[in-house]
Amino acid sequence: MIPGTLFVVATPLGNLGDLTPRAADVLRSVPVVAAEDTRRTRGLLTHLGASPRLVSFHAHSDGRRLESLLEILADGRDVALVSDAGTPVVSDPGSDLVGAVRRAGGNVVPIPGVSAVATALSVCGFTGDRYLFLGFVPRKGAERQRLLVRAAQEEWPVVFFEAPTRLAGLLEDLAEVAGPDRKVAVGRELTKIHEEIRTGTVAELLRHFEAVEPRGELTIVLEGTGTPGAAPDRTAEAGEAAVSLLAQGMTRRDVIEQLISRFGLPRNDAYRLVTELT
């Protein structure tokens, strides 16, 4: 059991006024803050008049840094985990530390606050009842294509993060898979002095950002199709499972029930599949 508490603290995207009073109290009281970028976090702590020990903890930190933070918590000292901006772990480092503390029986306390995802959804003009968050998609390759095709087919809005130099490429790919007339919103420098929230079709925003180089941190929201996507065909997967279950000696009736329960097959389809195998 680890006696120290790990606080996962959301920090402002840019406007320091967005820091919650609870988050400020935690950052003033903890002896150690694990920060993605100590230089950036030091400015926030100076603003608060706080002076904890700052420890660098980012995506490229090795296992020794994680172990040192666990040792601090094991000594009974509390640690606040912060990212550069917004809520830690959401497309930011920290999940390894949170998972390790939980596995060791430690206490992890969320200190909620700003989220770029919720901020962008609230002002894009698309329905925010449900959404898919994809964060930073891979720069290239089959996984990028798979995720973008999934986004294009999604019934609900899809939220991305992207770097300014890659925004045009993302919009080009979205125009190809979702169509140039699909609506999209780009939030730039949210809550900061140069905040910009631009909406339009994918083609319109692509033309704009090809002419005007984007700067700062970007959150992109692609409007959903508004209609449910086609259910995935799991017949082949169900067939493999049926072969395995029959080989284990399960009765045809029980195999049919398993296929209905596990794969959502209609009873007639499950019956036909099993009878064709026996």
Tell me the per-residue pLDDT of 83-113, one tens digit each, with 9 for 90 and over: 999 999 988 889 999 999 999 999 999 999 9
Q: Which fold has domain 117-222?
A: 3.30.950
Choose among 123, 131, 135: nearest CA to 157: 131
Measured distance CA(208)–CA(3) in Å, rounded: 53
The mean pLDDT value of the chain amounts to 94
β pairing state of 218-222 and 183-188: antiparallel
Q: Quick one: average pLDDT of 225-251?
A: 84
Kindly report the number of other CB atoms within 10 A of residue 227's CB atom. Answer: 8
Question: Is pLDDT larger for residue 219 or for residue 236?
Answer: 219
**In whole angstroms, what is the distance from residue 182 CA to residue 222 CA?**
8
Q: CA–CA separation, 145 vs 161, rounded Å? A: 16
Percentage of the chain with pLDDT > 70? 98
Closest CA to 188 of 220, 158, 157, 224: 220
| Mean pLDDT, range 207-221, rounded to an integer | 96
Q: How confident is the model at residue 128 (pLDDT cuts 50, 70, 90)?
A: confident
Convert the pLDDT of each residue in 49-79 to its tens digit: 999 999 999 988 988 999 999 999 999 999 9
Confidence at residue 230, expressed as pLDDT on a 0 to 100 scale: 63
Domain 5-114 is in which class?
alpha beta
Which neighbouring-strand residues pair with 53?
A: 32
pLDDT, residue 42, reads 96
For residue 235, what pLDDT is reported? 81
Dist CA 206 CA 222 (whole Å) = 13
Nearest to 6 by CA among 99, 106, 85: 106
Other Cβ atoms less than 10 A from the Cβ of 124: the count is 24
Is the pLDDT at 167 greater than 80? The verdict is yes
What's residue 231's pLDDT? 62
Q: How far apart are CA 160 and CA 250, in angstroms?
A: 46
Residues of the chain with CATH 3.30.950.10: 117-222
Task: Please list the residue range(s) of the chain that carry CATH number 3.40.1010.10.
Answer: 5-114
Nearest in space to 240 (alpha carbons), one of 263, 219, 266, 268: 263
Q: Quick one: pLDDT at residue 19?
A: 97
* % of residues, the chain, pLDDT over 90: 78
Residue 177 CB neighbours (<10 A): 17
Q: Which pair of structure tokens corresponds to residue 67?
A: 């172990």
Residue 56 has φ and ψ, to the nearest 5°, of: -75, 130
Q: What is the pLDDT of residue 266?
A: 86
Give the ranges where the chain is alpha helix by DSSP (H).
Answer: 21-29, 38-48, 63-74, 95-103, 116-123, 142-153, 167-178, 202-211, 235-247, 252-263, 267-277
C-alpha triplet 211, 212, 214: angle, nearest 5°:
135
